[in-house]
Amino acid sequence: MKKAFITGIGGQDGSYLAEYLLELGYEVHGIVRRNSTPEHQQSRLDPIRNNKNLHVSYGDLNDTSGIERILREVNPDEVYNLAAQSHVRISYEIPQFTVQTNSVGVVNILEAVRNNCPKAKFYQASSSEMFGSSVDEDGFQRESTTMTPVSPYGCAKVFGYNIVRNYRNAHKIHASNGILFNHESPRRGSNFVTNKVVKAAVRIKLGLQDELELGNLDAYRDWGHSKDYVKAMHLIQQQPEPGDWVVATGETRSVRDMCEYVFNQLGLDYKQYVVQNKKFLRPEELKYLKGDSSKIRELGWKCEYTFSSMMDEMIEHWMDIFKNPLNK
């Protein structure tokens, strides 16, 4: 039985990845931070909590001795580093913590892998935010696109990306980067724009809220579903040689487009309810993302969710939450 170790297992991607690996017959180990708290939808790990092959403990990327101990005891075949300070706008408010976790934290776990399980395959959750304002002439970002990040989060992720490549070359570790574009689900934190929009739209439909305040409505993003993207993570780890892969749908939509779709699905006109508030604007805006995932698609990966089916799933989730008082 293969063994996997996942940092950030309690997050959106970590919980979906754990479910997927358990389905494939893995023994799954993971860490969550002690102050990690679920939203009202209960813990993201609840669907698999009683699985005998799931082992979750408390840990932190900045606790190097703890990470070393766990890796030494587990001796995993695959390591997935998904833990991060993952909110871009908040990275402006806590830049030091963001860098400590998203940059130094990557070094900490790479060192732990090198010293305790050097044969393990390592996956780093890199981000499309690394590209910043860079776009190729055809309107896409891909593995070869120049990285010019425009946020503390993006800057920290570039360091993590490059240190993975360094350990791959210098220490011959099977270390890969998945450059994931935006990916969402009902498990996404509701301070992220997709779930923020859906949650508010449902509340407005049910008479529980009057308006929705947002920042830049004209930011364009390439949105996919987390369930599809964790399958890409696993596929990357199965490759005989490590590398870097963009994971994206290849389609881009604005926040305004998303609002229009979600409110329309609920029989509402977003223009009557959505209000722009400058406090939600970033000091430096990333205006456009659209990924070319041709490289990983050549390995057989594909999106099973469409934008519409993903958003409809999220609408259904929040409608169920707010219609059932026991879920509030």
* Domain 3-183+224-247 identical in fold to domain 191-220+252-286+307-327: no
Q: What is the C-alpha separation between 59 and 149, in angstroms, rounded? A: 29
How sure is the predictor about 35, in pLDDT bands with cuts at 50, 70 and 90?
Answer: low
Give the residue numbers marked as catalytic. Answer: 127, 129, 153
Residue 4 has a pLDDT of 98
Q: What's the pLDDT score for residue 41?
A: 39
Give the pLDDT confidence score for residue 302 in this predicted structure.
Answer: 97
Q: What is the pLDDT of residue 154?
A: 96
Q: Is the pLDDT of residue 36 over 60?
A: no
Give me the pLDDT at residue 119, please.
97
- pLDDT for 326 equals 60
Q: Residue 37 — pLDDT band, cuts 50, 70, 90?
A: low
pLDDT digits over 95-148, tens only? 999 999 999 999 999 999 999 999 999 999 999 999 999 999 999 999 999 999
- 64, pLDDT greater than 80: yes
DSSP assignment of 41-70 equals T--TTGGGTT-TTEEEEE--TT-HHHHHHH
CATH number attached to the domain at 3-183+224-247: 3.40.50.720
pLDDT band at 40 (very low <50, low <70, confident <90, very high): very low
CATH topology (fold) of 191-220+252-286+307-327:
UDP-galactose 4-epimerase; domain 1 (3.90.25)
Residue 27: band (very low, low, confident or very high) from pLDDT cuts 50, 70, 90: very high
Confidence bin at 227 (pLDDT 50/70/90): very high
pLDDT tens figures, 248-295: 999 999 999 999 999 999 999 999 999 999 888 888 888 999 999 999
Antiparallel, parallel or unpaired: β 27-32 and 54-58: parallel
**Residue 190, pLDDT score:** 85
Instruction: Give me the torsion for CA of 308, 15, 126, 129, rounded to 10°.
Output: 40
Q: Which helix (H) or strand (E) holds 184?
A: strand 183-184
The predicted model gives 53-70 an average pLDDT of 94
What's the pLDDT band for 34 if we cut at 50, 70, 90? Answer: confident
Angle between helix 193-205 and 307-323 (nearest 10): 50
The pLDDT of residue 325: 60
d(CA 249, CA 238): 21
Quote the pTM value. 0.95
Q: Please give the angle made by the CA atoms of 131, 98 and 280, to the nearest 5 degrees.
A: 75
How does the average pLDDT of the chain come out, rounded? 94
Sketch the domain layout of the chain as residue ranges. Answer: 3-183+224-247, 191-220+252-286+307-327
Quick: pLDDT tens for 186-202.
Answer: 999 888 999 999 999 99
